[in-house]
Amino acid sequence: MIVMAEIKLEVQEGAEKEFFAHLMEKFDEEVEKAAELRQKRYFTKNEAVKYLTLKDSRFKDHVRYSIPVAMIGTRLVFDRKDLDEFIERHKA
């Protein structure tokens, strides 16, 4: 799912290059985080929410109990394979 939004910002005159450099740096960081997430096998709840591109409340209310969870030590983790299967089951 791609969400497009229009953002209007006022940037001080002469600061455009710095602003866009900072913006591109943040964009690159987010792309790198997304790539790392795709390579992981097990996810925390927050990572699973990001992986599925859902809101936290939507995940808690509608998804959490339909996906198997594993207990590793004291942590609950979600298997990427189960998350992918969930996506496949809900394709239109």
Boundaries of every domain in the chain: 16-89
- Per-residue CA distances from 89 to 39, 49, 51, 68, 82 (Å): 21, 17, 16, 14, 10
Residues 6+ apart with CB under 8 A from 48: 59, 67, 78, 83
Tokens of residue 12, six digits: 């001080």
**Could you read off the pLDDT of 5-64 as tens digits, one per residue?**
677 767 677 777 787 788 888 887 877 776 676 778 899 999 999 889 889 999 988 788
Are residues 52 and 66 in contact, defined by beta-carbon separation less than 8 angstroms?
Answer: no
The whole-model pTM stands at 0.59
Closest by Cα among 51, 53, 42 to 77:
42
